[in-house]
Chains A and B, each alone.
Chain A
Amino acid sequence: MRHHIENRIYHVEILPPKQDTEKLHEDLELFTTKYNRVKESGYCACITDNAMGLLAFQGPEVIEELCLKVEPSQVMIHLNTFHTKANLHEILDTCVAQGIKYLLIITGDGSDRLPKLTPADVGATDVQSVTSVELLRYIAKQYPGKFTMGVAFNPYEPQEHEFAKMERKMAAGAEFVVTQPIIEKNAIVDELLRKYPDVPVIIEAWMSKKLYLLSDAVGYEIPEDTEFDPIKTLKQIHRDYPDCGVYLSLLGFKTQYHLISDTWVRE
């Protein structure tokens, strides 16, 4: 992951088609276009796993079904705890077969339709429910050396609690960190960088102008009339965090993509 930062490789979020889509073929075509564009740009395509609890097809199966080419350093799969054990292994086995190396392990957002891994599924005896920590530990044990796994960091959670969780994630085998979106320099992210100077940290940059969605993501109300220019904010993030990578969430492929190539400039 350090290689991504050194070579200014953006992490670009791509949402796979939703399960309830009525225009599946159109959505698959759009996914293909975005995936290939990210790949051709030399960036890393980050494919979500039922983001916001909305049921979607899994990244690895979409890649497999559409016969998309995988460049191992250019694909990151999000993987959460809302799966059956069989389904989890299916996803991981598909990743291995395709040469996908990067996983972002998150606890995730559930929904009524989604099953949840049980502690017994992942061999955890000391917890009531499975979080990213247990999932990370399980994958590290079941697929030794196959994946480079990262975890999420939420600077909007109570600091003490979030850092204690980060300790557990690191002990379970996390090798990089992706933050929740920030729109300005964040003291808790700064603390994360101080505590883990050797761990690659990827800052999530919010590229949508829909601030109510950002409020949902971060868990506190951002006033709708807040002046917010995603590209300007992205440039500022690079200035504030020159040694971090950047994850672009909800990037507009039509309106913004062509603008990002010259945003990551080292001063």
Chain B
Amino acid sequence: MKIVVCIKQVPATNDAKIDPETKRIIREGLKAILNPFDTYAVEEAVQLRERFGGEVIVLSMGPEKAALSIREAVSVGADRGVLLSDRAFGGSDTWATSYALANAIRKIGDVDLVICGKQAVDGDTAQVGPGIAAHLDWKQATYVMAVEDASDDSIVVKRMHEDGYDICELKLPAVVTVVKDINTPRIPTLRGRLASEKIEVPVWKPADIGADLSKIGLDGSPTRVVRTAPPPPRNTVTKKISGTSAECADALIKELRLRSIL
């Protein structure tokens, strides 16, 4: 099974600032990490390869330093990676991004399955996975919490929703987005990390993937962010409980019950 995992490098902070003009995150000076949801996608791909054989290719779009996240994925078992990086990709919204990624997946060729994390923690849109499926015209399942089975031409997944889950069989090739419940991502070993430093990460430009320049970057993005604002502060009230340990415990239980937490 040839699996592509789409990953994103995101700022490692909950305190990101927004550029008031571009309405985009100011990434300068922020430490970058692999999007936490994508670690589950990488792990699932590696587990599928361990079960069924094949290859895991990590694909990302971003600045050149995003290659670090590709190396991180390789350090936990992915076979290789590809980075889409060019100024022309800058400012792409989820539709333009998924167009570029879909083109890259076509170029990789013979891909059976694309796995994405359910969303990136910086944009929180959860649109890129479905967007890739739309551009490729492939079957898709979102919020996948388990891969039940797979064969040469289909995959059976458990898809989470508010009232429970669906068991879905998808004809391959397909796109799935995964949630945290799906697995426990392995931690990179030192050996894996050192080996990942030695791999080459090819950088593809728009021309390499046959991208139409009018469909990527700001020009190719139908979404316009009109306004961004921080969430309103939470009105928290601190209540101090005093007394003996037993009295405090009783009072705490009472408070929690009053608020239907217990």
Contact = CB atoms under 8 A, between A and B. Distances in A.
* A and B held together in a complex: yes
Contacts of B193: 19, 24, 57
Contacts of A84: 184, 186
B194 A65 contact: yes
Interface string B178-216: 000000111111110110010000000000000000000
Interface residues of B, number: 16
B170 interface: no
Interface in A47-78: 55, 57-58, 61-62, 65
A114 B187 contact: yes
**Which has the most chain A C-beta neighbours within 10 Å: B39, B187, B197?**
B187
A62 B185 contact: no
B11 to A, nearest CB: 13
A123 interface: no
B205 to A, nearest CB: 27
A75 B40 CA distance: 35
B33 interface: yes
Contact of A112 (B31, B36, B191): B36
**Which has the most chain B C-beta neighbours within 10 Å: A62, A65, A112, A158?**
A65
A87 B188 CA distance: 11
A20 interface: yes
A199 B36 CA distance: 44
Contact of A115 (B184, B189, B190): B184
Interface string B10-40: 0000000000000000000001010010010
Interface in A94-136: 112-115
Given A20-B31, A24-B193, A113-B187, 9 more contacts: A19-B193, A20-B33, A58-B189, A61-B191, A65-B191, A87-B186, A112-B36, A113-B39, A114-B187
Interface of B: 31, 33, 36, 39, 184-191, 193-194, 197, 245
Interface of A: 17, 19-20, 24, 55, 57-58, 61-62, 65, 84, 87, 112-115, 158
26 contacts: A17-B190, A19-B187, A19-B188, A19-B193, A20-B31, A20-B33, A24-B193, A24-B194, A24-B197, A55-B187, A57-B190, A57-B193, A58-B189, A58-B190, A61-B190, A65-B191, A65-B194, A84-B186, A87-B186, A112-B36, A113-B39, A113-B185, A113-B187, A115-B184, A115-B187, A158-B245
